Amino acid sequence: MASIFGNNLKISIFGQSHAPAVGVVMDGLPAGEPVDLAALGAFLKRRAPGQNPWSTPRKESDEPEILSGLAGGVTCGAPLTAVIRNTDTRSADYRELRDVPRPGHADYTAQVKFGGFQDTAGGGHFSARLTAPLCVAGGICLQLLARRGISVLAHLYAAGGVMDTPFDPVAVSGETLSALRGRAFPTLSEAAGQAMCQRIEAAKQAGDSVGGIVECAVTGVPAGVGEPIFDGMENRIAQIVFGIPAVKGIEFGAGFAAAGYTGSENNDAFYMDEGRVKARTNRHGGILGGITSGMPIIFRAAFKPTPSIAREQQSVSLSEGRDVTLNVKGRHDPCVAVRAVPVVEAAAAIAVYDALLDKEGHV
Amino acid sequence: MASIFGNNLKISIFGQSHAPAVGVVMDGLPAGEPVDLAALGAFLKRRAPGQNPWSTPRKESDEPEILSGLAGGVTCGAPLTAVIRNTDTRSADYRELRDVPRPGHADYTAQVKFGGFQDTAGGGHFSARLTAPLCVAGGICLQLLARRGISVLAHLYAAGGVMDTPFDPVAVSGETLSALRGRAFPTLSEAAGQAMCQRIEAAKQAGDSVGGIVECAVTGVPAGVGEPIFDGMENRIAQIVFGIPAVKGIEFGAGFAAAGYTGSENNDAFYMDEGRVKARTNRHGGILGGITSGMPIIFRAAFKPTPSIAREQQSVSLSEGRDVTLNVKGRHDPCVAVRAVPVVEAAAAIAVYDALLDKEGHV
Amino acid sequence: MASIFGNNLKISIFGQSHAPAVGVVMDGLPAGEPVDLAALGAFLKRRAPGQNPWSTPRKESDEPEILSGLAGGVTCGAPLTAVIRNTDTRSADYRELRDVPRPGHADYTAQVKFGGFQDTAGGGHFSARLTAPLCVAGGICLQLLARRGISVLAHLYAAGGVMDTPFDPVAVSGETLSALRGRAFPTLSEAAGQAMCQRIEAAKQAGDSVGGIVECAVTGVPAGVGEPIFDGMENRIAQIVFGIPAVKGIEFGAGFAAAGYTGSENNDAFYMDEGRVKARTNRHGGILGGITSGMPIIFRAAFKPTPSIAREQQSVSLSEGRDVTLNVKGRHDPCVAVRAVPVVEAAAAIAVYDALLDKEGHV
Amino acid sequence: MASIFGNNLKISIFGQSHAPAVGVVMDGLPAGEPVDLAALGAFLKRRAPGQNPWSTPRKESDEPEILSGLAGGVTCGAPLTAVIRNTDTRSADYRELRDVPRPGHADYTAQVKFGGFQDTAGGGHFSARLTAPLCVAGGICLQLLARRGISVLAHLYAAGGVMDTPFDPVAVSGETLSALRGRAFPTLSEAAGQAMCQRIEAAKQAGDSVGGIVECAVTGVPAGVGEPIFDGMENRIAQIVFGIPAVKGIEFGAGFAAAGYTGSENNDAFYMDEGRVKARTNRHGGILGGITSGMPIIFRAAFKPTPSIAREQQSVSLSEGRDVTLNVKGRHDPCVAVRAVPVVEAAAAIAVYDALLDKEGHV
């Protein structure tokens, strides 16, 4: 099952970092939906490496080829498949890592699971490169959601200990969206963004890396989407977001802070607004009982610092069964959370669109 | 799909709070596994209401009847079904709530989703009563895991702002387990437990409630369990844990704190310990790339405060389309996180056992 | 997975022949659908044992208890669970069969699969008793389909070599339905029914049994239902129908006969009939490319003769590793296909309703 | 879901006849299995067009490119993806068919399902071209099965009313296999093969087509594979085989003939053979209660005649709402069953291998 997600729209992610390609099959996409490839390309560019000084210097065109699923630029009901060729691969960088697993990476756990047969080059199937096809699928879902009046918007809420302004959970506005889309660095506060950049640059200079938090808002989702118990919106968003490398936590609405509140502080009062039920506050993050309330869906995902750092680290030689020191080579972002911002949007878009299809029917 | 969880062992939860019964079907349980019903009963008792002064005075025997799946007390390969009758139901308490949704509950979202046909009595399918069959399934998985040398252990890490001692993530010992199992109140530190009790009691007296955090450790899981991308251990545990009512966040290992660390702080160094690969620290929470490392799995789930409080709250009349004030009746725990401790263990046990079956085969 | 069927409406069948109960969970049933329990009881009675001289003398009330999923007699969106208690069980009949597997039964294959832990009493999970909960689920689906103008109707097309009149595949009429519903024995031709009865009675007198074929028609299904490749209507109906014990073959429309036709004989010409596209013949059985054409769905399922016969048979002692002769005890129908007629209707109803939900959305 | 098959090994088929490519993702393939691309190519050649005078003159290299899932020619645990480019496409042949559906094809049903947005060129996602990626997946499974001592072997059992010799269901030998593999035309009896060829040629000359039956044997499968009720070997094989275009029926062992037998004729007596349980006859087709018995799995699939024939046919103009006559253009096999022989082997191999993974674990 592993690399397949979704109940109605099944997303099947494939590829390894240094295989001929990475890609995605989307099975269950309704027929008759135009796909704007230029808009998709623009979305993918936000994730692509080489957009800022700290991101990995690996250059990839990241241009997807659509192999199936479209007829005249419109979905035809057959599975949509997109592949992105891997071109700028330097597998030699990774050869010695089969024996000496990198701390914080999946090298050791994959070695045990796959009995040494895993593809180690560039992290193989565990590489952040696999977020490119996730963004293809998510980018297409974003277009379908937009047609239904639903927007998905994320920003870098924290990086290296520097905090951005949080979203207003009751009123994430279109203005916020426009402002954020225009930013070179994905923060609401430009000052916070500059401070983060300095913090990331300092870490890079020190041969180190920093973690971060991405906050995401989904607006325009009608009330009544999601299912009880195991297929609620929180379950589904969590399942896909933990599919993004380096995510170690997720919270909805007030999240962990709610654990410190009293009920009278945490409950969101309902009121009528021009015939519609709304909540005056949004500590529930737009989800109650797994089902959307019509308020914005708000969640935050915690990213650990990039485990590949330029410093000497302690590890083991699996073949020799002894402790060794390790110097990781390769090209790496000092803060994966920066480029993860559109990836979180993509993941949220897929989960929300899949849940909408519970109601619409997936044909 | 909604109320079904698992890839190999499919757990299907059914029931409403005031329906004739709640229960669970476990499809995919291997044949030949003895089920100790007395031990299961003891586990269920930890979740049952009425165990301490703050828990809901609703009395339920919570004794499951096994309808199928056993032959001579041993699993026979057919689906195992357990039902728990609902006996002490007072549906009259809930009649007026169909029109006026309770803040913080699923009343409004279920109303929209199910078009007013949802069972409102006692919260229906959204009630915490549904955690009883989850505990039946989890209690059986705990027995199967114990036979494989795997323990699952949770404690109340925080309640009403009071913190317990955290687990030692590198060495959650059998002694910790024994100590915790003997406690009337599920904290590692008895002093912290007493402070929490006072805080909860105070909230109750004030007609209010408090939130909390449950921390869970799973020890003895071999390295190599879990699958890449969407079916990693984090994805699976998150999917099931968000199936517990009131959970608003989950984090693994260092979790949200990792977002503030540098890579050199966060990476866990590997070393050889008598021929086995171990990590000196466990900020990765026993999971790298979705796959277990052999270190204890550590995670924390945030519970919001019980939304049913004795204070007047603001809501709406759906039929009249106007704002109203609401006084919630019914019997409720002032801190759901207390009784959630064994529920989190149950959920973790199901997810881990299901993942183990990826390797063992589910027959 | 085993005992779970469906993409949108998940049917989970549980129970063993001599366990406390058999039953079914239906997860994904839309809210707001009234369930007529009296009509359901009448449908179940058609399958129940003891309806005619040849059926097993085992007496079961077969009355389902609805444990969940209804509120005021109407589906509430939560999983609907029904259990049927097993009361008239004589497990002693089966004790010696654990060692000596019955020819034509699953005794040996279950022994190998479940390592000897399977429940052998009455055939355990492999018993035709498990068709009772299938009929509960199917009986409910039949009511939901009827509300959408869809009828499901089966008859005994062959038994012991005697053939009934086939359905008119282009025009299975309401009159046919009414006539068939009034029959004590489920054939279109009363003369064929009498001949079959004589053939079955003769086999019974000879300590033997006979096979049969059930033909089923589903009328009123709109065009456009079903999905390409693996989730077409044929795939789905076949998957569920092979879940009925003793089925060894299935064919749609002209089926195996089509293999002997030429294309010009087999193709069904389209024509316009008052603005609707129809086919003049229906050798395609209402399905083209896995998708319904709007013509009646027609299929036939072949049932092998009841393997439990009163004659001496050759088998082996598994414990002693030698050939032995076997005399099967217990109470058995001489022709399972007779009582299978409503079971086939139930199975078809579930598959068709599940496929309809692809379009309607399963909420 | 549509185009995804499997419980452990998930096969996701994509592509349209005239899209840039067709292909398959195999998710869940165990790591460490060498894939022999030359052997795979030889297997694919059996299905490829242009192998005999009657098959469609469309030329396709059918050479798959492996985009992911291998490292050094060995499976690495990541999904294996193969694409086959579509090169010799003549979409102009199909333009007029959007309005006038071909009898016996999915044109009309797809039109209704996908609202006119389906890809009509070459049959789109419904084309027999999609059996190429099915054969890639099946060809790989055949290699994995062979390593476990399991062979899958099919022959053309009937075509145009001419019958081949059936398999000996008790002893399908390696000699049979070798003989069959050496044949230019896939029959056991060369004389029958010649008669079929003449019959097919005659149909072609008459602008017509013929149907056929493919019989398949799977030998070497251990007893105990498959699951009760909905995931038995019959259910799974039926589900995938109905995914092959033109299949209208399937039967296992004696199949429809069993419906005419008595129990004493149909039951297969068990006996001990050098410490192993065997059956003297194999009317059960190697499957009892959905689970393998250790005897060869035997099944037959009925293929309707190719619906595309050179004769004038009656259809409708969907846009004008009136009856029209139709002359189908394009390049078509006069008997799809001939090239379907390896496709049936591929489908059986996938279903059997997926079921084996229930026991082995799918990692």
Residue pLDDT, tens place only, D282-298? 999 999 999 999 999 99
B16: closest CA among B98, B105, B144, B129? B129
Cβ(A64)–Cβ(A84) below 8 Å:
yes
Which one of A104, A126, A291 has the shortest CB-CB distance to B110? A291
Q: Are C362 and A357 an interchain contact pair (Cβ–Cβ within 8 Å)?
A: no
Which one of D78, D228, D361 has the shortest CB-CB distance to B358? D361
How would you classify the pairing of strands A80-85 and A162-163? unpaired
DSSP bridge partners of A153: A217
The mean pLDDT of D170-179, rounded to a whole number, is 80
The C-alpha atoms of residue C98 and residue C120 are separated, in whole angstroms, by: 6
A65: closest CA among D83, B228, D136? D83
The C-alpha atoms of residue B136 and residue C179 are separated, in whole angstroms, by: 49
Mean pLDDT estimate for chain C: 92
The mean pLDDT of D193-209, rounded to a whole number, is 96
Mean pLDDT estimate for chain D: 92
Share of chain C above pLDDT 70, in %: 93
pLDDT, residue D241, reads 98
- Give the CA count within 13 Å in the CB-facing half-sphere of D229: 30
Chain D: residue whose CA lies nearest to A65: D20
Structure tokens at A115: 């009995």
C90-99, C106-115, D300-309: lowest mean pLDDT where?
C90-99
Chain D: residue whose CA lies nearest to B79: D228
Structure tokens at D290: 């959905």
The mean pLDDT of D172-197, rounded to a whole number, is 87
List subunits contacting chain D, requiring 3 or more Cβ pairs under 8 Å. A, B, C
Q: Identify the segments of chain A with pLDDT beneath 50.
A: none
Classify A60 as helix, strand or coil. Answer: coil
Chain C: residue whose CA lies nearest to B5: C1
pLDDT, residue C50, reads 65
pLDDT, residue C182, reads 79
pLDDT, residue C56, reads 62
Q: Are D117 and A20 an interchain contact pair (Cβ–Cβ within 8 Å)?
A: no
pLDDT, residue A50, reads 65
Scan for tokens 């939304």, then name that residue: B307
Does residue D329 have a pLDDT over 80? no
How would you classify the pairing of strands C270-273 and D70-71? unpaired
pLDDT, residue C213, reads 98
Q: How confident is residue C240, by pLDDT bands cut at 50, 70 and 90?
A: very high
Cβ(D243)–Cβ(D347) below 8 Å:
yes
Q: Which residues of C touch B124 (CB under 8 A)?
A: 71, 76, 78
pLDDT, residue D173, reads 75
Which residues of chain A have a Cβ shorter than 8 Å from any chain C Cβ?
77-78, 227-228, 357-363
Q: Are A361 and C360 an interchain contact pair (Cβ–Cβ within 8 Å)?
A: yes
Scan for tokens 């906050």, then name that residue: A215
Q: How confident is residue D47, by pLDDT bands cut at 50, 70 and 90?
A: confident
Cβ(B200)–Cβ(B158) below 8 Å:
no
Which one of A252, A270, A318 has the shortest CB-CB distance to B314? A270
Q: Which residues of A touch B228 (CB under 8 A)?
A: 2-3, 106, 110, 125-126
Q: Which residues of D touch C101 (CB under 8 A)?
A: 270, 277
B205's enclosing H/E stretch is helix B190-205
Share of chain C above pLDDT 90, in %: 82
A128-137, B180-189, C229-238, D261-270: lowest mean pLDDT where?
B180-189
Scan for tokens 């308490």, then name that residue: B93
Chain B: residue whose CA lies nearest to C32: B117
pLDDT, residue A60, reads 64
pLDDT, residue C90, reads 64
Q: Which residues of D touch C314 (CB under 8 A)?
A: 269-271, 280
Classify C204 as helix, strand or coil. Answer: helix
C49: closest CA among C40, C61, C37, C39? C61
Does residue D91 have a pLDDT over 90? no
Residue D113 vs residues A5, C252, C275, D315: alpha-carbon distances, Å: 24, 20, 18, 19
Strands (E) in D69-144, as ranges, are: 70-71, 74-75, 80-85
Q: Which residues of B touch C2 (CB under 8 A)?
A: 27-28, 79
pLDDT, residue B10, reads 95
* Residue spans of alpha helices (H) in chain C: 37-47, 107-113, 131-147, 174-182, 190-205, 233-241, 263-266, 336-360
Q: Are C14 and B77 an interchain contact pair (Cβ–Cβ within 8 Å)?
A: no
pLDDT, residue D75, reads 97
No. of helices (H) and no. of strands (E), chain B: 8, 18
The C-alpha atoms of residue B10 and residue D305 are separated, in whole angstroms, by: 41
Q: Identify the segments of chain B with pLDDT beneath 70.
A: 1, 50-61, 88-95, 330-331, 362-363
Q: Are B77 and C4 an interchain contact pair (Cβ–Cβ within 8 Å)?
A: no
Does residue D44 have a pLDDT over 60? yes
The mean pLDDT of C81-103, rounded to a whole number, is 81
Amino acid letter, residue A200: I
Cβ(C123)–Cβ(C332) below 8 Å:
no
The C-alpha atoms of residue A289 and residue B3 are separated, in whole angstroms, by: 12
Which one of A27, A120, A121 has the shortest CB-CB distance to D12? A27
How would you classify the pairing of strands D313-317 and D322-326? antiparallel
Chain C: residue whose CA lies nearest to D224: C113
A37-41, A218-222, C172-176, C211-215: lowest mean pLDDT where?
C172-176
Please give the residue that has the higher pLDDT: either C331 or B209. Answer: B209
- Give the CA count within 13 Å in the CB-facing half-sphere of B169: 20
pLDDT, residue B56, reads 62
Residue A360 vs residues A29, A70, A347, A354, B319: alpha-carbon distances, Å: 12, 21, 20, 10, 26
Classify A128 as helix, strand or coil. Answer: helix
Q: Which residues of A touch D12 (CB under 8 A)?
A: 4, 10, 12, 25, 27, 79
Select from A9, A233, A359, A363 the residue whose CB has the most chain C CBs within 10 Å, as the one to mutate to test that interface. Answer: A363
The C-alpha atoms of residue D287 and residue D232 are separated, in whole angstroms, by: 9
Q: Which residues of D touch B78 (CB under 8 A)?
A: 228
A207-216, B300-309, C25-34, C122-131: lowest mean pLDDT where?
C122-131
Which one of C104, C254, C270 has the shortest CB-CB distance to D267? C104
Spell out a b/e string for D175-185, using b for 16 or more CB atoms within 10 Å of the CB, else e. Answer: ebeeebeeeeb
pLDDT, residue A304, reads 98
Q: Are D12 and A15 an interchain contact pair (Cβ–Cβ within 8 Å)?
A: no
Q: How far is CA C119 from the centre of its chain?
A: 23
Q: Are B114 and C22 an interchain contact pair (Cβ–Cβ within 8 Å)?
A: no
The mean pLDDT of C199-203, rounded to a whole number, is 96
Residue B81 vs residues B24, B42, B84, B244, C6: alpha-carbon distances, Å: 6, 19, 10, 20, 19
Q: Are A121 and D71 an interchain contact pair (Cβ–Cβ within 8 Å)?
A: yes
Does residue D262 have a pLDDT over 60? yes
